[in-house]
Structure 1
Amino acid sequence: MKKSLLVVGIIGVLVSQFWNYQYYHSKQLEKPIFLTHYYDHTFYQNDEYTFSFYYLTNKNEPKQIQYMIADGVIAYPYRNDDEGITYSDHVSPVDEYDYQYLFSSPLSFSYEEIPFDEDGTWSFQEVTVRFTDGDSVTTDIGKVVFRKKRNPNHSEAIDFTAQGSRTDGTGTVEGYATKSLKIESIETLLGEELAGNIHFTLNGTEFNTRKPIDPIFVEKDEEIEILWEMGSLASTFEVELDFTGTTETGESFISSLLFTQLPDMDEKTVNELIQEKTGDKQ
């Protein structure tokens, strides 16, 4: 009798381990999943610019990026040391979830290597990423736009002083007008993408980055407050907004704001992202 109970117990343990393994295996990603990135940058000199790209990778086999290829242009991880580009077995995730890490890899793009189009811009959405273990993946990463050099003729008509965000996907940008002025347009290289993902208001007036705005009048020293709300916490933004208009003396101005927002995901958001990208319910 005791022997039979022992056998039943052993079988029960083995079955439990088998189903635990099956469940654990079902939570593993076949390949890293990249978040949606909306980035733009305007060059003011012949230099490099670095964007951070975010991706989910399995905890048991975390992958590091060796390089990224976008439209024939190779971007390597940026390392600020005297030895040049280095790779390390030690990895520090941005965030940790039940079965995945969220990694961030800063990748540098050189002005001299970018094949700008006739309109002076270059953009990409699909990339091929090679990892240090030899694996690679071709995937959509959102949209990244670079613009050729232009003269830094921005004025200080608007002084943006603070920017902050909350975990619920909302945030504020604060500033003030150094002169009495009229804001006539708010432009960005990623107007369509921002309009579809972020809701903006300026001093209580809604504005859409893909449509013309009605003029907004601001007195000298009057506070300027921009409120925004993201549609997805699994996206990341680094976008320059150009506020253009005229002062009360008739002087034209352009004041720029670098709008940034990092991903802020909980376990539920991660599971939803994995299901969206793979079709597998987590």
Structure 2
Amino acid sequence: MKGRIFWPALFIIGLSWILNSYYAYSKQLNEPIFLDHYIEHSVDEEGLNYLTLYYLTNINDDSHVSHVTFEGINGYPAQDDNFYDLGFYTDEVTPDLQTFTHYSLREIQIALASYDLEELLKEEDELITHEMKVFFYDGREITVPIGEIVLRKPYEFGDALGQWGSSSGDNWNILTYRAYEALTIDSITFDFADVLQDQFFVKFDSTNTATLHEETHDILANTNWRDVPGIDIRDLKFPLELQEDEYITLYTQTSPNFFGSLQSSFLFTGSTENGKPFTSNSTFNSQLPNLNQEDVDRLIHERGASK
């Protein structure tokens, strides 16, 4: 009797182990998935230029990125901001930012090769790329969609309009600007307005005083977007007239459905009261990617990347 029970039980245990092993194998990614990045970067011609990238990979992945390339620009993993500690030849495993049932979210900081950027700036005012080649120490190379990265020559700025203060949280920014002389704003733009129109929202408010009062810190964190003061920037009518020492504020909020990376800037163009053209620019960032298991499953399903 015991033998009749033992062998069927052993068979069930073995079958269960095989099925579980197959399920775990089926969940493995064929290759890392890089999140969508929307990065606008003004090249620093005298310093180091970094891009911070995020990718999803198998939780047991011990592969190492050796370098990346896009549109003729080479980039190398960097350990920190010290030029002499750049990890061009490091084989350290990238640490996990988040872990899930089968996967890890990881961050890698890429230092762009100065020579390549110099050559770029000789030929073009800007470079736009949507994919990147990633090379690993084990000899593999993959081409991955990256979102959109814009590298450009620095703008020449005037001092008619300047950023006076800022505040930010998990998925919002408050940016306040001061007119240092009477001026007219003809446009306020940022690079990814069209592609992110349903995921990144901006309002313009001209009612704030010079004080970045404490209560503004809670406006976006605890308020529904429709109740945030100001006008949707897409409905704004130009030109805008500002008097000397007048202040304006931009509120931004990122949709919870956006789990990529956003680093861009608002570009103001216009002219002063005496007719002199001006350009002003200020950077902003969205929150770091903060995924949950549902986000991860959706991303893998969209990319069709599992075995």
Asked if TM exceeds 0.5, the reply is: yes
Give aligned-pair identity as a percent.
23
Partner SS state of residue 264, structure 1 = coil
Residue pair 2:54, 2:105 contacting (<8 A) in 1 also: yes
Distance 1:92 1:53 in 2: 13
Residue pair 2:69, 2:134 contacting (<8 A) in 1 also: yes
CA 260–160 in structure 1, closer or farther in 2 if over 3 Å, else same = farther
- 1:133-154 C-alpha deviation (Å, 9 max, x unpaired): 3222111111111112443x24
Structure 2 segments unaligned to the other structure (5+ residues): 206-229
CA 71–246 in structure 1, closer or farther in 2 if over 3 Å, else same = closer
Distance 2:99 2:274 in 1: 54
Residue pair 2:37, 2:261 contacting (<8 A) in 1 also: yes
Please give the residue correspondences for 1:49-128 in structure 2 after superposition, counting only pairs within 5 Å. Answer: 49-80=49-80, 82=84, 84-85=86-87, 86-114=89-117, 115-116=120-121, 119-128=124-133
> How far is the alpha carbon of 1:243 from its aligned partner?
1.9
> How far is the alpha carbon of 1:26 from its aligned partner?
1.6
> How far is the alpha carbon of 1:253 from its aligned partner?
3.8
Question: What letter is aligned with 1:69?
Answer: T
Residue pair 1:40, 1:189 contacting (<8 A) in 2 also: yes
For these two proteins, the number of residue pairs brought into alignment is 275
Aligned CA RMSD, in angstroms, stands at 2.9
1:159 paired residue among 143, 159, 163? 163
Larger mean Cα displacement after TM superposition, 23-32 or 223-232: 223-232
Residue pair 1:120, 1:147 contacting (<8 A) in 2 also: yes
2:185 is the counterpart of 1:183 = yes
Residue pair 1:243, 1:255 contacting (<8 A) in 2 also: yes
> How far is the alpha carbon of 1:21 from its aligned partner?
1.1
Distance 2:102 2:295 in 1: 13
> How far is the alpha carbon of 1:119 from its aligned partner?
5.0
Please give the residue correspondences for 1:150-229 in structure 2 after superposition, counting only pairs within 5 Å. Answer: 150-151=155-156, 153-155=157-159, 157-166=161-170, 170-179=171-180, 181-195=183-197, 197-203=199-205, 204-208=230-234, 214-217=238-241, 220=245, 222=247, 224-229=249-254
Question: What letter is aligned with 1:244?
Answer: T
Distance 1:181 1:233 in 2: 36
2:291 is the counterpart of 1:244 = no
Distance 1:44 1:91 in 2: 26
| Larger relative contact order (Cα-Cα within 8 Å, sequence gap ≥ 6) | 2
Question: What letter is aligned with 2:102?
Answer: Y
Distance 2:93 2:114 in 1: 30
Query: Normalized against structure 2, the TM-score is what?
Result: 0.78
- 1:219-238 C-alpha deviation (Å, 9 max, x unpaired): 63545141323374221111
Question: What letter is aligned with 1:245?
Answer: G
